[in-house]
Structure formats: C-alpha cells, structure tokens
Amino acid sequence: MRADLERVDARVEQAATIDYPLASGLVLDIVKAGGKRLRPLMLLLAGRGYTYDLDRLVTAAAGIELLHTASLIHDDTLDRASTRRGKPTLNSRLGSGAVIMIGDFLFAQSAILAAATGSTRVVSIFAGSLGDICDGQLREMMDAHRTEQNRADYEKRIYGKTASLFAGAAEMGAVIGDAPEDHIQAVRQYGSDVGMAFQIIDDVLDVTQETDGIGKPAGNDLRQGTVTLPVMIYARDLMPGSDAQRTLDAVIRGEIEDSAAIDDVVHAIRASSAIEETIEAARIFTEQAKRQIEIIPDPQSRDLLAEIADLAIRRVS
C-alpha cells in the first residue's frame, strides 16, 4: 500500500500549505511527522475490498488525515501541550489564537476534500465524525478532575475522541467502494472497535511508558485530571477510605500537583492488576473487529485490515 499512501501524503501536504511561510513550515512539519497513517490506510483497504476507485479513495483518505491533524492541533492547544511525538507543538511556537485559526483552516481543507469525492454520504460521514470528535473532547474537558466516573462514561468519551474517526474512515472507504449496505455497517463497526482498542492501549502506554517513549510526561492524563480505564480499574480495587484512595482522589481533583507524589501513584498503577485487565479490554475490542471483517470478499484486504487491528495490542506485547 506504500504507493497509494504516498499519494495520500502528497494530497495532504498540498491541502495543508498556508500562504504565510512561518505558519506553513510549522504545519507541514506536523503533517510530515505524520505517525502511522492508520486512518487513511484503513479507508484505502476498506475500499480495496470492493471497487477500488483510487482517485476518490485518495481524496477521502487525505481529508480524513487532515481532519485528524486538525483535531490534534486543537487538542494540544486545549491541553497546553508543549510536545507531541517528542516534537514542539504549534502552540509552543505561536499564540493560541493563531493556532486555533490554523486548526480551523485544516478542518476546512479536510471538508473540501470530503466534498471533492462527489459523495453526499461521504460528506455526511465526515460531518458526523467531526461532531463526534468535538463531543469526545468536550466530555474530556467536562469530566476532568471528576472522581465519580464509570466505564460507560469512559467509552463514550474515547469513542468520540478517537474511535469515531476510525469508524468514519472505514465507512467512507466501503461507501466509495460501493459495498453492500450490510458490509458497510460491518466495516464501520470494525473501525469503531479498532479505534476503541487503540485508545485503550494509548491509555495504558500513558501509564506504563517513560517520558522518552511517548514524548510527554509519564502519567500525563492523570496529571491533567483525566480518568482513564487503567485508573478506573486501579481505583475500583482500592480499599475505601485508604490512604491510597485518598491520594488518588486528590491527584485527580488537582489538589496534589507534586510530581514525585504523582509518580508514586503512576508506579502503583503499573504494579497493580489494572494494566493487564485494561489490555484484555482492548484485546476484546480487537477480536470483535476481526470478526466484523470476515464479511469482506477480498482476502488480501481482509488480512491487512486484521493486521491493523492486531497492531493495537502489539504495541504493549
């Protein structure tokens, strides 16, 4: 798929170019840093399983990648993050107003690409994904520093923030490929399940990896008051009223900001059964995803999509 992804990259870079040299250079650095390009790859493979209209698929895939990039820029601004993947974020180099406008510009460019596919359904999926992303980000902001959260709250939040774009990417590919409706729905569910698994494993890595491995402080979510699944499971097993529970609650509420004290909580979570239980939750989503794509007629596309699902768990193996 390398040649097709290179076409996607070229289309993304073209759409992300801004007339202001300083801003353009910073944005292109972020776009080129890229990451794994999983969402566009998923879209391409979902279409390849049926009718492979490469030009339209590349256009949609570029739109999905730009939408993802724009959401990361806004996410970093809201989190006041100074680095991503070990590199400076836009908001560490420019004022927040300029960064928000650049994110909005990329959102607009991604919508233009979605419209360029000529499919009203693709545009509808795109709009729905954007709405879900905003919902997920709002849930994260509103739930920050709130100790009383449950698994359903968590899954709604990570669906919006992460899984919805995986689901939308897979569905767009199948729609452009003229797949039967039941196949489209199965492929969308595959994307949603893979996205859930990826975010759950990201939340594991946030706790288990050192700063150098993730490009931000270990336990960064906890430091910001974001309650993730490993934290929920760890909290569930604490004795009510214990020192450990009171300390964890104080960290989540932002009453403890001492880095060493937070590190102690992170190490306690690592040493607990919460990590393996969280990984198992991601593994269940991965297996569900692979069952969904058994319906795809093309074996090579099916196998490659299954490999993407397995990649979520492989990051912690």
Q: Report pLDDT digits (tens) over 139-183.
A: 998 999 998 889 999 999 999 999 999 999 999 999 999 999 999
Mean pLDDT of the chain, nearest integer: 89
pTM: 0.92
- 90: pLDDT strictly greater than 70: no
Opening angle at CA 37, ends 32 and 40, nearest 5: 120
Radius of gyration of the chain (CA): 20
pLDDT for residue 69: 87
What is the set of domains in the chain, with CATH numbers?
Answer: 2-314 (1.10.600.10)
Smallest Cα–Cα separation from 266: which of 300, 297, 221? 221
Where helices occur in 179-298 by DSSP H, the ranges are: 181-208, 211-214, 220-223, 229-236, 243-252, 259-271, 274-292
Residue of higher predicted confidence among 208 and 30: 208
Q: Tell me which of 35-39, 200-204, 214-218, 262-266 is least confident.
A: 214-218
Burial 162-172 (b: 16+ CB within 10 A, else e): bbbbbbbbbbb
Tell me what the mean pLDDT of segment 272-299 comes to: 97
CA-CA distance, 191 to 40, in Å (whole number)? Answer: 12
Query: Phi and psi of 183, rounded to 5°?
Result: -70, -40
CA-CA distance, 29 to 306, in Å (whole number)? Answer: 30
Q: Is 262 helix (H, G, I), strand (E, B) or coil?
A: helix
- As given in the structure block, the two tokens for residue 212 are 């150098």
Answer whether 178's CB lies under 8 Å from 51's CB: yes
Number of H helices and number of E strands within the chain?
A: 16, 2
CA-CA distance, 180 to 178, in Å (whole number)? Answer: 7
CA-CA distance, 297 to 289, in Å (whole number)? Answer: 16
* Residue-wise pLDDT tens digits, 253-276: 999 989 999 999 999 999 999 999
CA-CA distance, 70 to 17, in Å (whole number)? Answer: 13
Taking residue 138's Cβ as centre, other Cβ atoms within 10 Å add up to 13
Answer whether 173's CB lies under 8 Å from 46's CB: yes
Cα–Cα distances in Å, from 167 out to 17, 129, 171, 187?
27, 8, 6, 8
The highest-confidence range among 57-71, 73-87, 175-189, by mean pLDDT, is 175-189
Task: Give residue for tokens 């569905």.
Answer: 171
- 86: pLDDT strictly greater than 90: no
Q: Tell me which of 28-37, 112-121, 212-221, 281-290 is least confident.
A: 212-221
Answer whether 163's CB lies under 8 Å from 132's CB: no
Answer whether 316's CB lies under 8 Å from 205's CB: yes
Residue of higher predicted confidence among 30 and 180: 180
User: How much of the chain, in percent, has pLDDT values that exceed 90?
Assistant: 70
CA-CA distance, 8 to 50, in Å (whole number)? Answer: 19
- As given in the structure block, the two tokens for residue 169 are 């990417």
The highest-confidence range among 17-26, 30-39, 255-264, by mean pLDDT, is 255-264
User: How much of the chain, in percent, has pLDDT values that exceed 70?
Assistant: 89
Tell me what the mean pLDDT of segment 221-230 comes to: 93
- 88: pLDDT strictly greater than 90: no
- 85: pLDDT strictly greater than 60: no
